[in-house]
Structure 1
Amino acid sequence: MVDSEAGGEDRKRYYVSVQAGQILEDPQAAAYELEISMNEQEHIKLREMFDELSSMDEAEMFHFTHHPYGTASNGEMNAGYDELIQRIYKQLYEYGTDTTKRHIESMQLL
C-alpha cells in the first residue's frame, strides 16, 4: 500500500518488530508488533536507529563478558540504550496507525 502525502512523498506501509529490530514490507514474512506508514527518508532514519540499537546490544554483550562484575559505565550504557529506545518508539508513534499509537500509549514509554 502506498499513500501520498501533501508534500508529494510516497508513504509505504511497514510492519515493525522492535524486539527483532526488523522493518518489514510483508506482514507475512515474520512476527511484528507495530504497523506504520513512512516515506523512504523516514525509513532510512528508522533503519539507522535500529542499527545503532543493534550495535549497542553487541557492545553491551562484549562489555559484560569482559567485565562480569560491572563497572561505573553500566549505568551510562543503560541510559544510552533507554534513550535510543524512546527515540525509536517516538518515531514509531509518529508514523503509526491508530492501533499502533494506542499500543505505544498503553506501554507508557513516551
Structure 2
Amino acid sequence: MISIIDDDLSLQSALVRLVRSLGYSARGFASAEEFLETGFMPKSSCVITDIHMPGMSGIDLMRVLEKRGSCIPVILITARTETVLEENAVASGAHCFLRKPIDTEVLSVCIERALKP
C-alpha cells in the first residue's frame, strides 16, 4: 500500500489515481496526523507526502516515522521552488524529492526504487 498525504484534496485524489494506474494500491490522507492516527503506517510500503501542510510537515512526519523505528521510504513533494527545500529533503533522508507538477515517469521510477528490497 502506498500512502499519499497531501492537504490539497484534488491533488491527493489525482496522485492516488495515478499511483493506482501504475499498478499499486494506494490510499490518500489529508494530513500527516490523519495518516498516523488511522494505523496505516504498518500497512504502508511507501509514503508520498507534501512537504508543506498545516500541522505536521512532510519532514516532521519523516522524523516521527524514524522515532517509531519505521523504515518506510518517503517521497517528498512540493510546489515551492526554493533550493533549500531539496537540500533539507535529502538531508532528512527522503528517498526522492519531486516538484509539482509531478512527472509521471519520474514518480514511477522513484516508487520502483523505493520498493526494491
User: The TM-score by the shorter chain falls in which range?
Assistant: under 0.3
TM-score w.r.t. the length of structure 2 is 0.26
TM-score w.r.t. the length of structure 1 is 0.27
Relative to total residues, which structure has the larger helix share, 1 or 2? 1
